[in-house]
Amino acid sequence: MKPQLIGGEWVASPSARPNINPSDTRDVIDAYAQADGEQAAAAVAAAAQAFPAWSRGSIQRRSEILDAVGSELIARAAELGQLLAREEGKTLSEGVGEVTRAGQIFKFFAGEALRLTGDALRSVRPGVEVSVTREPLGVVGLIAPWNFPIAIPAWKAAAALAYGNTVVLKPAELTPGCAWALAEIIQRAGAPDGVFNLVMGPGSVVGAALTDDPRVAAVSFTGSVATGARVGQACMARNARVQLEMGGKNPLVVLDDADLDLAVECAVNGAFYSTGQRCTASSRLIVTEAIHDRFVAAVVERLKGLVVGHALESGVHIGPVVDEKQLQVDCDYIEIGRREGARLLFGGERVSRPTPGHFLTPALFTEADNSMRIAREEIFGPVAAVIRVRDFDEALAVANDTPFGLSAGVCTTSLKHATAFRQDACVGMVMVNLPTAGVDPHVPFGGAKGSSYGPREQGRYAAEFYTRVKTAYAFAG
């Protein structure tokens, strides 16, 4: 059993959960300890105890620890990328890429630990000086989803630690392996006992223990809208700081003047890579009249060439869906799309491979309408719907007609339309001639409307969540 990390000790739990490879359900990666409320509380207590020394300690030391974590992640990207692909179902190259990115994030925040700034001002009262500093919050609870099992824990934990907070991380039930490896690396890199704690277990028990504990000053959550609402309410009820990164129904607009090959690449990558299991996936392809048929035909041609299969096999472009439950959700939505009158032009079939896994061919709907459920609700699988529109104005209106607002893309060669889209898309991230998914690690990440709540993650904007501003006045006498 892979144990919990609480106060620097590796602790077993009364029960464990098998971590199963979605590419081959006979392959059990390991059993991971499942915490109860008591263990979660012990992790919070350990983090609270470690906080004073960590927050007041040497920022040079903090920076060195984060840098060492980053170096080890990058050095072990091949091995950990394989673990990631094995437990989550991303392809090996996607897994290696994600681990490398996690390493880069730690290195970025190793620098940020030394760069935190404030303001020094003169007071309106003569002889009085004013300083504005950023202080750490205390214990932060980090609740992560399964779809980026190392990058999301990394971008939360590296920022929290850099600014002097202590951490309790709760990974998703389906993907504890990468989080466990990360905890082991952070501990070995020299984080003092209790600075970083890992508690694995069910969200309703371990997640709720973090959101409800008065010693947890802030909770950073990434996951579904439904869980996010619960986490937000629990935190707000006790005035804890909370950050919610949730779902998306991201539009990719393709205009008549787009470079067709580029648009097809953006659509196929954005909608189907990582098996469509990205919060930034392009699930709505909004296409203007004159390019519509050529675009659809070219996307179908590309889809025919994509290989769906075991995530660790070379030559595979699309790995399995993460588990049977999510596969059923995807299939149900494909049925819903059909019943709503959209045309399933390609894929959307469960397929068998030599290993028993959750394989689904990428599904492309055409003749979809933005009012259909497949265009309004996040499916979180390899399913995209093409919506035909007249012109740019209608494309923009349809793109914005959604409760979500994470990412939006436009493929066009018109500066005028690219500029207007960048300005008027109601989202946190806009992509011009790029897929809606795929972001840099050193700039802010987050959305608008129902996709996000609270300050941005990543880049130096992360300080807005993980620090509290303090204003100090001093009169020298």
Tokens coding 292: 């519509």
Q: What share of the chain is helix, strand, coil (3-state, %, to 5)?
A: 45, 25, 35
Written as one letter, the residue type at 135 is E
Does the footprint of ligand NAD cover residue 207 (CB under 6 A)?
A: yes
Nearer to ligand NAD, 246 or 291 (CB): 246
What residues contact residue 163 under an 8 Å CB cut-off, 6+ apart? 112, 113, 116, 134, 136, 462, 463, 466, 467
Tell me whether residue 266 is one of the annotated catalytic residues: no
Task: Pick out residues in 350-369 that bind ligand NAD (CB under 6 A).
Answer: none
Per the listing, tokens 């984080």 go with 191
What are the phi and psi torsion angles at 386 (to 5°)?
-90, 130
Does the footprint of ligand NAD cover residue 173 (CB under 6 A)?
A: yes
The Cα 236–Cα 402 span in angstroms is 26
Does the footprint of ligand NAD cover residue 97 (CB under 6 A)?
A: no
Closest CA to 103 of 140, 78, 138: 78
Nearer to ligand NAD, 152 or 255 (CB): 152
Site string for ligand NAD, 276-315 (x = CB under 6 A): ---x------------------------------------
| Element housing 397 (H / E) | helix 392-400
Tell me whether residue 279 is one of the annotated catalytic residues: yes
**Distance of closest approach, residue 208 Cβ to ligand NAD, in angstroms:** 4
Among the residue ranges 39-47, 167-175, 178-186, 413-421, the one whose residues contact ligand NAD (CB under 6 A)? 167-175
Tokens coding 44: 């919070």
Among the residue ranges 19-27, 239-247, 259-267, 461-469, the one whose residues contact ligand NAD (CB under 6 A)? 239-247
Considering only 162, 246, 287, 398, the residue that binds ligand NAD (CB under 6 A) is 246
What are the phi and psi torsion angles at 349 (to 5°)?
-115, 140
Does the footprint of ligand NAD cover residue 204 (CB under 6 A)?
A: yes
Among the residue ranges 13-21, 103-111, 219-227, 469-477, the one whose residues contact ligand NAD (CB under 6 A)? 219-227
Catalytic residue selected from 279, 331, 411, 457: 279
Considering only 378, 388, 434, 458, the residue that binds ligand NAD (CB under 6 A) is 378
b/e for 174-203, b at 16 or more Cβ within 10 A? bbbbbbbbbbebbbebebeebbbbbbbbeb
Q: Is the Cβ–Cβ distance between 196 and 184 less than 8 Å?
A: no
Considering only 248, 270, 276, 405, the residue that binds ligand NAD (CB under 6 A) is 248
Considering only 45, 73, 406, 431, the residue that binds ligand NAD (CB under 6 A) is 406
Burial of residue 204, with CB atoms counted within 10 A of its CB: 0-12 exposed, 13-18 middle, 19 or more buried: exposed
Task: Pick out residues in 132-151 that bind ligand NAD (CB under 6 A).
Answer: 143-148
Catalytic residue selected from 245, 265, 378, 457: 245
**Distance of closest approach, residue 420 Cβ to ligand NAD, in angstroms:** 25
Closest CA to 137 of 9, 230, 48, 76: 48
* Site size for ligand NAD (CB under 6 A): 29
Residues with a catalytic annotation lie at: 245, 279
**What residues line the site for ligand NAD (CB under 6 A)?**
143-148, 170, 172-173, 203-204, 207-208, 211, 222-224, 227, 230-231, 245-248, 279, 378, 380, 406, 451
